[in-house]
């Protein structure tokens, strides 16, 4: 009988048992280590190899560490063009970005939202055969096709934390230095306004549109603040959180006030530090109202006159509420008469002008009008099927992103807060859409895609960390050469 070649006492060392003492026991993989989070008792001081990347960047300036791909640069050029109108480089930038997509090594990403909007675009083509102005349908289809490609670029340009961080800071800076600054200068220095309501130029010349876009940008500022350390970027986000609500007041947009109220309600209820957030909101709100001109809320409070008098025209002196109410009556008539395919995308003004000449409508509705409502506009132009596709596309996006946010709340709390702010910003914008036509604007689609990119980033981080842990688990058990004898 031979004696095994093993150290004396093998199998009898330590706490006893039958496991050979010279062979290390297998160790279960430890928990995920999140940088910046407190360690559990007994956990090692150094981060595990499968640790998640830090949520809050240590770089002071947002351009540090950014991967400057051709698609990313072209996308930033497009954002600069549509926000500042400084240089007409929008088309050139998108062509450059699309060319970059052909050269990228990563697989092409197509969010579910784009699949839904692609289906919506195909359905909108049906309107060409029923429209009284088919050329208007072709023009709008071209715009929507370009917007779809721009959203595709955004979904593939924003891949890393550094890229998303710089993009948010860049877009907020463009919005601050041009529409916000320009509207404030117009209001206080040049005294250029629309019946006492703040405006700027181009697509921001309508106070309702300007205020609605402010809601989206405000949510981005709050989202950036959640993942930013002390520094110039966070300071800029704080300034935006104070100035943008002030500009919304100056627009005197009742729809935006409603959207902003819904947005603020969600922000305060969903904030991680509710008491602190509510106190800060009261302080900022008090300061904003203190420096705002008198009468900025008169248009909102005037809506109470409808309840007391029963007359829509009593809501304001300029007759805006009465005119919108009459326009909505025309829109509802068009929807009833064209419930399946609508009148054709882009054809509503012509259809409205023809329908409003009927005797059952007041003269205030005459002319080539807009619906002044996102949902009535989509339903009138593309029918009930079109509005269903539109709502399901954005609703599915919100559901998908919110489920990812809930899964990431414990391991990625700061980024989950960013996603939440972008979500409620979109909800506030859609609320303001009750009183404005925003279905096919670039700000809406790009905001939604940005929200998806942040959620996708979190999903990939968690999936990579989990896969790395599974790969490392067998390697935690090592056998010395003598164990195989």
Q: Give the pLDDT mean for 425-437.
A: 95
Instruction: Look at residue 313 and tell me whether its pLDDT is greater than 60.
Output: no
Instruction: Look at residue 41 and tell me whether its pLDDT is greater than 70.
Output: no
- Diameter over CA atoms, the chain: 114
- Say if CB 241 and CB 284 are below 8 A apart: yes
Among 16-30, 202-216, 254-268, 293-307, the range with the most confident prediction by mean pLDDT is 202-216
As a whole number of angstroms, the distance between CA 288 and CA 221 comes to: 17
pLDDT band at 338 (very low <50, low <70, confident <90, very high): very high
Model pLDDT for residues 411-423, shown as the tens digit of each residue: 999 999 999 999 9
**What pLDDT does residue 182 have?**
96
As a whole number of angstroms, the distance between CA 131 and CA 202 comes to: 28
In 3D, which of 390, 374, 392 has the Cα closest to residue 328? 374
- Say if CB 100 and CB 74 are below 8 A apart: yes
**What pLDDT does residue 181 have?**
96
As a whole number of angstroms, the distance between CA 407 and CA 252 comes to: 39
Residues whose CB is less than 8 angstroms from the CB of residue 167 and which lie 6 or more positions away in sequence, other chains included: 75, 76, 79, 157, 158, 450
Model pLDDT for residues 77-117, shown as the tens digit of each residue: 999 999 999 988 999 999 999 999 999 899 999 999 999 99
pLDDT band at 284 (very low <50, low <70, confident <90, very high): low
pLDDT band at 53 (very low <50, low <70, confident <90, very high): confident
In 3D, which of 296, 290, 304 has the Cα closest to residue 196? 296
Q: Give the pLDDT mean for 19-32.
A: 53
CA-to-CA dists, residue 144 to 112, 151, 346, 440, angstroms = 17, 10, 11, 7
In 3D, which of 454, 425, 450 has the Cα closest to residue 438? 425
pLDDT band at 52 (very low <50, low <70, confident <90, very high): confident
Q: Which of 264-268, 305-309, 453-457 has the lowest mean pLDDT?
A: 305-309
Q: Which of 15-19, 50-54, 101-105, 364-368 has the lowest mean pLDDT?
A: 15-19
**What pLDDT does residue 46 have?**
45
Looking at residue 180, what DSSP letter applies? Answer: I
**What pLDDT does residue 271 have?**
65
Residues whose CB is less than 8 angstroms from the CB of residue 137 and which lie 6 or more positions away in sequence, other chains included: 124, 127, 128, 131, 344, 345, 346, 347
pLDDT band at 287 (very low <50, low <70, confident <90, very high): low
- Say if CB 330 and CB 129 are below 8 A apart: no
Backbone φ and ψ of 88, nearest 5° = -80, 70
Q: DSSP for 205-259, please give it.
A: SSHHHHHHHHHHHHHHHHHHHHT--SSHHHHHHHHHHHHHHHHHHHHT-HHHHHH
Model pLDDT for residues 222-262, shown as the tens digit of each residue: 999 999 988 899 999 999 998 999 999 999 888 899 999 89
Instruction: Look at residue 36 and tell me whether its pLDDT is greater than 80.
Output: no
**What pLDDT does residue 322 have?**
82
**What pLDDT does residue 296 have?**
54
Could you tell me the two tokens for 174?
């463009």
**What pLDDT does residue 317 have?**
52
Model pLDDT for residues 268-277, shown as the tens digit of each residue: 886 666 666 6
pLDDT band at 279 (very low <50, low <70, confident <90, very high): low
Give the chain's mean pLDDT. Answer: 83
Instruction: Look at residue 142 and tell me whether its pLDDT is greater than 60.
Output: yes
Residues whose CB is less than 8 angstroms from the CB of residue 403 and which lie 6 or more positions away in sequence, other chains included: none
- Say if CB 373 and CB 436 are below 8 A apart: yes
- Say if CB 97 and CB 70 are below 8 A apart: yes
User: In 10 A of CB 367, how many CB atoms?
Assistant: 12
Instruction: Look at residue 1 and tell me whether its pLDDT is greater than 60.
Output: no
Burial (CB count <10 Å: 0-12, 13-18, 19+), residue 72: buried
Model pLDDT for residues 166-223, shown as the tens digit of each residue: 999 999 999 999 999 999 999 999 999 998 899 999 999 999 999 999 999 999 999 9
Q: Give the pLDDT mean for 128-154.
A: 94
């Amino acid at each position: 009988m031979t004696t095994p070649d093993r150290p004396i006492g093998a199998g009898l060392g330590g706490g006893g048992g039958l496991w050979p003492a010279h062979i290390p026991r297998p160790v279960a993989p430890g928990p995920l280590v999140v940088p910046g989070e407190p360690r559990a008792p007994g956990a090692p001081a150094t981060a595990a190899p499968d640790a998640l990347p830090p949520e809050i960047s240590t770089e002071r300036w947002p351009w540090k560490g950014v991967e400057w791909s051709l698609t990313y640069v072209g996308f930033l050029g497009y954002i600069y063009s549509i926000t500042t109108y400084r240089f007409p480089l929008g088309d050139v930038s998108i062509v450059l970005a699309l060319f970059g997509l052909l050269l990228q090594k990563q697989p092409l990403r197509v969010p579910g939202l784009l699949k839904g909007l692609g289906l919506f675009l195909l359905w909108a083509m049906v309107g060409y055969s029923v429209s009284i102005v088919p050329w208007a349908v072709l023009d709008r289809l071209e715009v929507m096709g370009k917007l779809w490609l721009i959203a595709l670029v955004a979904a593939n340009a924003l891949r890393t934390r550094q890229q998303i961080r710089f993009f948010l800071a860049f877009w907020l800076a463009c919005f601050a230095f041009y529409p916000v600054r320009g509207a404030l200068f117009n209001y206080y220095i040049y005294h250029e306004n629309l019946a006492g309501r703040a405006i700027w130029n181009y697509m921001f010349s309508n106070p309702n549109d300007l205020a609605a876009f402010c809601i989206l940008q405000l949510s981005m500022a709050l989202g950036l603040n959640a993942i930013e350390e002390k520094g110039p970027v966070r300071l800029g986000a704080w300034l935006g959180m104070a100035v943008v609500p002030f500009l919304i007041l100056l627009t005197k947009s009742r729809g935006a006030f409603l959207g902003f109220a819904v947005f603020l309600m969600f922000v305060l209820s969903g904030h991680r530090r509710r008491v602190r957030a509510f106190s800060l909101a009261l302080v900022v709100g008090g300061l904003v109202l203190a420096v705002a001109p008198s009468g900025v809320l008169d248009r909102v409070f005037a809506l109470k006159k409808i309840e007391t008098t029963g007359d829509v025209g009593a809501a304001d002196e300029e007759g805006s509420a009465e005119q919108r109410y009459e326009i909505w009556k025309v829109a509802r008539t068009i929807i009833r008469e064209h419930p399946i395919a609508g009148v054709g995308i882009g054809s509503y003004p012509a259809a409205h002008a023809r329908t409003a000449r009927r005797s059952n409508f007041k003269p205030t509705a005459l002319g080539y009008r807009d619906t002044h409502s996102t949902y009535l506009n989509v339903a009138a132009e593309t029918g009930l099927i079109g509005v269903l596709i539109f709502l399901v596309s954005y609703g599915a996006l919100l559901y998908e992103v919110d489920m990812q946010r809930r899964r990431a709340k414990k391991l990625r709390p700061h980024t989950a807060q960013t996603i939440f702010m972008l979500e409620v910003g979109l909800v506030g914008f859609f609320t303001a859409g009750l009183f404005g036509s925003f279905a096919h604007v670039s700000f809406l689609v790009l905001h939604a895609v940005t929200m998806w990119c942040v959620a996708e980033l979190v999903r990939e981080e968690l999936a990579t960390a989990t896969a790395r842990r599974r790969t490392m688990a067998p390697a935690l058990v090592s056998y010395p050469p003598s164990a195989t004898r």
